[in-house]
Amino acid sequence: MGEFVTLEATAGVGTIRLHRPPLNALNRVLQRELRTAAEDASERSDVRAVVVYGGEKVFAAGADIKEMIDSGYAEALAGQRNLAAALDAVAAIPKPTVAAVTGYALGGGLELALCCDHRIAGDNVRVGLPEVLLGVIPGGGGTQRLARLVGPARAKDLIYTGRYVDATEAREMGLVDRVVGADEVHARAVEWAGQFATGPAVALAAAKAAIDGGLDGDLDSGLRLEGQLFAGLFTTEDQKTGMRSFVENGPGKAVFDGK
């Protein structure tokens, strides 16, 4: 249990909850706690899918500018590495992850949401990467993850201008996957994550590794990675369970142990 970040699990769904009022600014302590929570979520057997949530009013409004305003090169590089380590730990969770986005998700806050597999947003959200308006650029993966998600042209528009995007535009460009009422965000995120709570955990992890790993290289490398991960799943109990159930009972009726 951290000062600003907690991880709680219910029925196989873990919720990483940010709580640093008023705006969940990602200061150094929160970054460390976020990394720890993400690593715990990766390891815990009672967590099969993960929701990242900032509360009913705001997801996260970015880094704590007061901590970095007087930094030089060495301090800025160290700070960037700490932030990147926290966000990378979220991206590396080998389980389905969903960002439950309410209110503002700006700068590092949006970069955190980009680390998740799926994003459900409230109809009142405002998202963006306004770092250029501070004389810098995104440093927590925004230039890379956003461009991979929405394409380089749209990413450049958002990063060059620093403008905020509302829920409608965010959905249209694929920056978020679903828009719901502001008071429904967390429940819908838990519902999405819950469908994987009794799923084939090893296969889901392999699917995530294949997709994410394949995006880092060329098509041939991605196809080789997929083939290796596919074959490796034939050493799992879930593969035997799933295929036997299909043969005996038809599709979609297997009960997996996640092993």
DSSP state of 69: T
Q: Would you state the pLDDT for residue 125?
A: 97
Closest C-alpha among 133, 165, 122 to residue 146 = 165
Q: Would you state the pLDDT for residue 170?
A: 98
Cα(5)–Cα(41) distance, rounded to whole angstroms?
A: 12
Q: Would you state the pLDDT for residue 250?
A: 87
Mean pLDDT lowest among 3-17, 80-94, 188-202, 235-249: 235-249
User: Looking at the chain, which residues constitute the CATH 1.10.12.10 domain(s)?
Assistant: 201-249
- Label residue 13 by pLDDT band (50, 70, 90): very high
Catalytic residue among 55, 61, 62, 111: 111
Answer yes or no: 108 catalytic.
yes
pTM: 0.95
Answer yes or no: 111 catalytic.
yes
For residue 220, which phi and psi values (nearest 5 degrees)?
-60, -40
Answer yes or no: 74 catalytic.
no
SS3 242: helix
Q: Would you state the pLDDT for residue 29?
A: 96
Q: How many CB atoms lie within 10 A of CB 10?
A: 12
pLDDT reading at 201 higher than 90: yes
Closest C-alpha among 116, 157, 148, 110 to residue 129 = 110
Q: Are 222 and 213 in contact (CB under 8 A)?
A: yes
Compute the average pLDDT of residues 31-40: 97
Q: Would you state the pLDDT for residue 258?
A: 85
Which of 7 and 64 is assigned the larger pLDDT?
7
Helical H segments across the chain, by residue range:
28-43, 65-68, 73-91, 108-114, 142-150, 152-161, 167-172, 185-194, 201-214, 219-232, 237-249
Q: Would you state the pLDDT for residue 38?
A: 98
User: Looking at the chain, which residues constitute the CATH 3.90.226.10 domain(s)?
Assistant: 5-194
Cα(155)–Cα(14) distance, rounded to whole angstroms?
A: 30
Which of 102 and 65 is assigned the larger pLDDT?
102
Catalytic residue among 131, 189, 199, 254: 131
Q: What is the 3-state secondary structure (H, E, C) of 23-44?
A: CCCECHHHHHHHHHHHHHHHHC
What CATH number does the domain located at 5-194 have? 3.90.226.10
Compute the average pLDDT of residues 28-49: 97
Catalytic residue among 12, 107, 108, 258: 108
- 45 contacts: CB under 8 Å, gap ≥ 6: 258
Compute the average pLDDT of residues 168-193: 97
Catalytic residue among 63, 99, 193, 201: 63
Which of 259 and 151 is assigned the larger pLDDT?
151
Mode of pairing for the β-strands spanning 13-18 and 5-10:
antiparallel
Taken as a whole, the chain contains a residue count of: 259
Q: Are 113 and 134 in contact (CB under 8 A)?
A: no
Superfamily of domain 201-249: Lyase 2-enoyl-coa Hydratase, Chain  A, domain 2 (1.10.12.10)
Which of 137 and 258 is assigned the larger pLDDT?
137
Compute the average pLDDT of residues 92-104: 98
Please list the residues that pair with 51 across neighbouring strands.
Answer: 15, 98
DSSP state of 53: E
Answer yes or no: 131 catalytic.
yes
Per residue in 103-149, pLDDT (tens digit) is 999 999 999 999 999 999 999 999 999 999 999 999 999 999 999 99
Compute the average pLDDT of residues 201-229: 94
Cα torsion angle, 138, 140, 143, 145, sign:
negative
